[in-house]
Amino acid sequence: MCGIVGYNGAFDAKEILLKGLEKLEYRGYDSAGIAVHNEEGVTVFKEKGRIADLRKAVDEDVEAAIGIGHTRWATHGVPNRLNAHPHTSASGRFTLVHNGVIENYHLLQKAYLKGIPMQSDTDTEVIVQLVDLFSREGLSTVEAFRKTLSLLHGSYALALLDNEDSETIYVAKNKSPLLVGVGETFNVVASDAMAMLQVTDQFIELHDKEVVIVRKDRVQITTLDGRVIERAPYTAELDMSDIEKGTYPHYMLKEMDEQPTVVRKIIQAYENEAGELTIDADIEQALTEADRLYIIAAGTSYHAGLIGKQYFEKMAGIPVEVHISSEFGYNMPLLSKKPLFIFISQSGETADSRQVLVKIKEMGHKALTVTNVQGSTLSRESDYTLLLHAGPEIAVASTKAYVAQIAVLAVAAYVTGKAAGKAIDFDLKTELAIAANAIQTVIDSKDVMEQIAEDYLKIARNAFFIGRNVDFCVALEGALKLKEISYIQAEGFAGGELKHGTIALIEDGTPVFALVTQEAVALNIRGNVKEVVARGANACIIAMEGMEEEGDRLVIPNVHPLLTPLVSVVPLQLISYYAALHRRCDVDKPRNLAKSVTVE
Ligand code: F6R
């Protein structure tokens, strides 16, 4: 979703800003812009489309040591040049970039900005016009900025330039992510450390409603009412190689290939000196004391949560409900007496999940976040965090984070179950290691998946994914992967459910992918496959070794029945990838999608 960068220092800001925006491309955007400030004042360049288009629009001869930049994912107003950020106030004095949504922008416009002509359809423009108005009324820039912030309802990450001060970037955030990066001769601003890793690995976390003055030699953080706050920088544990594609054609392919390593890293990260799997004692206690777990998540993370439910119920004996975050907050079910909330979020920034977190914290409940991003909003605002250790996930379609979420949930459920004295008759560490090898075996036969994509999906209009038990959960994820990157309409179903309506859609040649990894329901799902084949479906059965039959299209290695999702999802990811390639889709940046969905 939208991204912000800012640079204040000794070098040419333009190139650093453009490179920073390129690093934010993965979040999803439809237009981009930068503003630079030199002795001639502030100059804005913006363009609809990709950063490559913006690059062409930027005057190569403009040199400036201070500037801000933005990638926009349209919420208010269509994606076009006019609505792209930065936005400039009517007098031309202030220039602003904004992430987030200002809910009361219409009211503010009516109350304060009557008669001021708006140049865009965005909520953002109201902010910059308010700063201008208050400064014309006699406030200093920082006072005008503070007064404006105090009026805003909604989410924002902001960076502001003042045409009359070429030394300062004014920064603030509320609910949207924003960091300040520090260097010897410069300071920077970024939605995400990755954007500025090119110049520094030292970052300062910002909290909601703080006002930050970023000069090239100084960063001053204050509360909204002006109290100065000291906060030391931390070192971002990221490496440029983590965020580069290297020789891979796409991040998605690189990230799928990393999955065996991710599972092995999780084993290492969660084992103690005695070589046993463990989680922090306070998390273990919170889990064991809960009478019910409420897993809250969106999209792929929700699908991982469905599998997590099985783990906690089967290994730890704790009842679990799994909820879509955008629904839960506005239609809360009756809660148990001692609930524990588990938020699953790759980015740790998903606004739909965060609104639930805010509500349940207000109600006095405890929260555990399972995330890939240390220091992310959900992690900071929860009582406990379990990290995924998957490394940055850049492709919009989540792959390695899903596998990591399942593995970490398995560890948490296993450790909790053991602590509660449940009879668990297997060694999870060994089984995870076996699963890591099995994932590798699937990855090593990519050519098979490429052929399956060609045979089943090259001209398909739609596709179905079916399974029973955990295979059903994976079918949902397989369908999501296919639709988001190839734009083929795809749905995941419980095998037994198709015949209750959806089977009407099966025609000659309709692709149906069926997973057969669960012994107890293997015959049932095979029966469901026969039902669709009898109506013309082109069925592709993916079975686990030991359960295969003649005619199955792919046999995946045998792993522990609870861990099959770690392996069975991989062929579905790869099939989706090749289907998207066959259709010449932009695999890493599918249309209309954002990596980190920071608006509700
Ligand atoms: C799909 C995908 C999304 C995310 C969802 C939640 O491939 O990536 O469905 O899973 O937007 O994002 P996080 O996990 O960051 O909360």
If one counts every other C-beta atom within 10 angstroms of the C-beta of residue 294, the result is 24
Ligand 1 contact via 597 beta carbon (within 6 Å): yes
Ligand 1 contact via 377 beta carbon (within 6 Å): no
Q: How many angstroms is it from 397 CA to the middle of ligand 1?
A: 8
Distance separating alpha carbons of residues 408 and 308, to the nearest angstrom: 9
Active site residue 2: yes
Give the pLDDT score at 26. Answer: 80
Residue 595 CA, closest ligand 1 atom number: 8
Hey, whose CA ends up nearest to atom 13 of ligand 1? Answer: 345
Q: Which residue has the higher pLDDT, 375 or 111?
A: 111
Ligand 1 contact via 347 beta carbon (within 6 Å): yes
Instruction: Give the angle 571-574-575 at the CA atoms, nearest 5°.
Output: 85
Residue 232 has pLDDT above 90, yes or no: yes
Residue 238 has pLDDT above 90, yes or no: no
Over the stretch 266-291, which tens digit does the pLDDT of each residue have?
999 999 999 999 999 999 999 999 99
Q: How many angstroms is it from 210 CA to the middle of ligand 1?
A: 28
Q: How many angstroms is it from 345 CA to the middle of ligand 1?
A: 7
**May I ask the CATH architecture of the domain 445-586?**
3-Layer(aba) Sandwich (3.40)
Q: How many angstroms is it from 151 CA to the middle of ligand 1?
A: 31
Average pLDDT of the chain is 95
What three-state secondary structure class fits 6? Answer: strand
Tell the CATH superfamily of the 2-238 domain: Aminohydrolase, N-terminal nucleophile (Ntn) domain (3.60.20.10)
Q: pTM (2 decimals)?
A: 0.85
Per residue, the 3-state secondary structure of 463-485, as one string, reads: EEEEECCHHHHHHHHHHHHHHHH
**Pairing assessment for the beta strands 462-467 and 511-516 based on DSSP bridges:** parallel
Ligand 1 contact via 299 beta carbon (within 6 Å): yes
Q: How many residues would you count in the chain?
A: 600
Please report, as a single letter, which amino acid is at residue 119: Q
Residue 28 has pLDDT above 90, yes or no: no
Give the pLDDT band (50/70/90) at residue 247.
confident
Percent of the chain with pLDDT over 70: 100
Give the pLDDT mean for 497-518: 95
Ligand 1 contact via 398 beta carbon (within 6 Å): yes
Pocket of ligand 1, candidates 306, 349, 408, 597: which has the most ligand atoms within 8 Å of its Cβ, to mutate? Answer: 597
End-to-end alpha-carbon separation of the chain, Å? 12
Pocket of ligand 1, candidates 346, 354, 402: which has the most ligand atoms within 8 Å of its Cβ, to mutate? Answer: 346
Give the pLDDT score at 76. Answer: 81
Same fold, 244-443 and 445-586: yes
Interhelix angle 105-112/124-136, rounded to 10 degrees, is: 30
Ligand 1 contact via 22 beta carbon (within 6 Å): no
Tokens coding 301? 């993370």
Q: How many angstroms is it from 596 CA to the middle of ligand 1?
A: 7
Over the stretch 309-326, which tens digit does the pLDDT of each residue have?
999 999 999 999 999 999
Give the pLDDT band (50/70/90) at residue 476.
very high
Active site residue 595: yes
Residue 240 has pLDDT above 80, yes or no: no
Ligand 1 contact via 572 beta carbon (within 6 Å): no
Return the domain boundaries, the chain: 2-238, 244-443, 445-586
Tokens coding 284? 């273990």
Fold of 244-443: Rossmann fold (3.40.50)
Over the stretch 134-172, which tens digit does the pLDDT of each residue have?
999 999 999 999 999 999 999 899 999 999 999 999 999
Give the pLDDT mean for 13-34: 92
Give the pLDDT score at 597. Answer: 80
152 vs 57, 103, 118, 489, CA distance in Å? 32, 8, 18, 39
Distance separating alpha carbons of residues 164 and 93, to the nearest angstrom: 7
Residues 6+ apart with CB under 8 A from 256: 399, 400, 443, 570, 573, 574, 577
Indicate which residue of 2, 473, 540, 585 is catalytic. Answer: 2
- The alpha carbon dihedral of 422, 343, 575, 240 has a sign of negative
Q: How many angstroms is it from 597 CA to the middle of ligand 1?
A: 8
Residue 538 has pLDDT above 80, yes or no: yes
Ligand 1 contact via 310 beta carbon (within 6 Å): no
